[in-house]
Amino acid sequence: MAMQMKMQMKMSQQLIMTPQLQQAIKLLQLSRVELEELIEQTLIENPVLEEGIDMDSFPGKKEESQETTEASETSETPDVVDDTENYETAREKEEESNDQDEIDWQQYIEQVEQFGGYQDRRYNSSSDDDDSPSLEATTAKSESLVDHLTWQLDMQDLSPLEYETGAYLIGNINNDGFLVTSVYELLESQNNLCEKIIEKHNLGELKVLSEIDHNLLNLKFESGKISPKNKNKKDDSFEIDPENKSPEIIHEKPENFYIACAFVENVLKKIQQFNPNGVGARSLQECLLIQLEILGDKESLSSRIVKQDMQLLESKDLKKIARRQKQDIEQVIESYRLIMSLEPKPGREFISNPSHHYIIPDVYIYQKDDEYKVALNSAGMPRLRISNYYKDLSNNMEDDGSLTKDYILEKVKAGQWLLKSIEQRQKTIYRVTKSILRFQKKFFDQGIHFLRPLVLKDVAEDIDVHESTVSRITTNKYVHTPQGIFELKYFFTSGIDQGGGDAVSSKRIKDMILQMVQKEDLKSPYTDLQIADILERQSGIKVARRTVAKYREALNILPSNKRKQLF
């Protein structure tokens, strides 16, 4: 078949993602903090943009700011954004102008200020002290687990090589206090460390190494389990010869590699004696054994139970443990109580308190005159505008094709697009929130048990936008309501079909399961089947046992056999 080239004309349609469109889409999904950071960065990069005048400096504005602060503290929306009816009117007027160069900027700024504009960064605008320290400067910094372990490492009498190894190990301990890398992985990733240890050994400068358990060298903590390396990957593993207890290094591992492993394991054993007790373990089992050893119970019945009957311990089958250990049930119960008093997550006390993470709502839903209203939260958002100086400069410059004028015009256009994109973002948040209010009004009146099933498509069709737009605008955006502060995505929930077109929100069912478990008899906790029966009998909600199990796991609630309190 002969090949030939020819020209052909064809008409087709395709979507071109211009930089401006990409920017608008990006702004939709940014959180409030990310948007503020973007605005600050843009102020640095674009000289034609500037922040508006601080209106709080005008007479009479302080009283209004004080009222705003008080309203926020009493769960009411700030007065500065209390005009929901005129909001869309102002936005529609702006959209009537398609020519960006003909925008009345002064009118634009005034409308933005009046209807949810971008205000000064300070959250408490009633303060006159510009030199006052920031919140971060006045908050005490809590010590992290890594800091605590490093401080203890500094206090040890260690050689430089032992200290370096200890620092590597501490760097691989997670927030719960478990070691998330194996000794083998550490030496493989830190090849220089392995070479240094072997060199010290060959020079006879290493201390005498104590005996270690070879089975631990290739183990690490992963999602609550000890996970050995894949033994099928020969280049990633080594095997232990049962005759001489030394590893056969596969695929050209360095000589005396086992010496390096033993050195690291010995340093790890020292770290495992640090505070908090049980830190540096590679499994829950090892964590408990370390704590028992520190308590002086290394050879006790408790240690034997943890070593030999961990699965029975998890299922609380004390009678079977007693038979296997050939001990009286009273002795097993005493050991069980001791084990239950140990800390399963040694690093727990160093985890930051979640209450220290503050959420600033993007929008308010509040009641006024027995009616719900929606208002944007503009407090703390930088207020932007195009600099009059640069606008006048570009207008007065001759159109001679100079690079300076082209540069200024380009920056002005970019600034206009940013302002329009931010405005579109705020408008979309407002419209989505109003739509959610229409769908979930009973929730705001009476609480979570009246939350109805809702999907993105419902809101998208209600406000005539694409589902992806609703998805982006509800991610990491928060609303302050009479029922509390929620992420906008919270109101989108699946439902369990009850027949006849009725459905019950999955969040309502989860809340009912949670309340049921909190009130249950700990000596006889509800099974999943019993929970399903109670839901149908008391509330008329039909739900399968496996669905109850799925929701229970989503709530991080243990099965009934593990919730059961024996004593």
Strands 484-487 and 478-481: antiparallel
- Residue pair 85/368 in contact by the 8 Å Cβ criterion: no
Residue 227 has pLDDT above 70, yes or no: no
DSSP 379-407: TTPPPEEE-HHHHHHHHHS--S--HHHHH
Residue 74 has pLDDT above 80, yes or no: no
Of 263-272, 515-524, 534-543, which one has max mean pLDDT? Answer: 263-272
Of 36-40, 74-78, 149-153, 391-395, which one has max mean pLDDT? Answer: 149-153
In whole angstroms, how far apart are CA 515 and each of 276, 512, 526? 34, 5, 12
Mean pLDDT of 383-409: 79
- Token digits of residue 162: 């032992």
DSSP 303-338: HHHHHH-HHHHHTT-HHHHHHHHT--HHHHHHHHHH
What sign does the CA torsion over 542, 545, 546, 550 have?
A: positive
For the stretch 102-145, pLDDT in tens is 444 344 334 433 433 333 332 333 333 444 444 444 445 568 89
d(Cα 111, Cα 93) in Å, to the nearest integer?
10
Mean pLDDT of 232-242: 38
- Residue pair 292/342 in contact by the 8 Å Cβ criterion: yes
* Residue 67 pLDDT: 35
* Residue 448 pLDDT: 86
Q: Is the peptide bond before 47 cis (omega within 30 degrees of 0)?
A: no
Q: Which of 144-158, 222-236, 338-352 is least confident?
A: 222-236
Q: How many CB atoms lie within 10 A of CB 141?
A: 7
CATH number of 494-563: 1.10.10.60
d(Cα 326, Cα 220) in Å, to the nearest integer?
32
For the stretch 244-301, pLDDT in tens is 344 443 345 666 888 889 999 999 999 999 999 999 999 999 999 999 999 988 889 9
- Residue pair 444/437 in contact by the 8 Å Cβ criterion: yes
d(Cα 474, Cα 174) in Å, to the nearest integer?
31
- Name the residue with higher pLDDT: 99 or 524: 524
Of 46-60, 468-482, 496-510, which one has max mean pLDDT? Answer: 468-482
Residue 88 has pLDDT above 50, yes or no: no
* Long-range CB contact pairs, 550-559, < 8 A, 24+: 551/506, 551/509, 551/510, 551/513, 552/513, 552/517, 552/528, 554/510, 555/510, 555/513, 555/514, 557/513, 557/514, 557/517, 559/528
What backbone phi and psi angles, to 5 degrees, belong to 465? Answer: -135, 175
d(Cα 541, Cα 310) in Å, to the nearest integer?
38
Each domain of the chain, given as residue ranges in start order, spans 19-123+358-481, 143-280, 283-351, 494-563
d(Cα 276, Cα 50) in Å, to the nearest integer?
51
* Residue 529 pLDDT: 92
Residues 6+ apart with CB under 8 A from 24: 417, 420, 421, 424, 425
Mean pLDDT of 332-343: 91
In whole angstroms, how far apart are CA 430 and each of 91, 350, 378, 479? 11, 39, 12, 10
Amino acid at 46: N
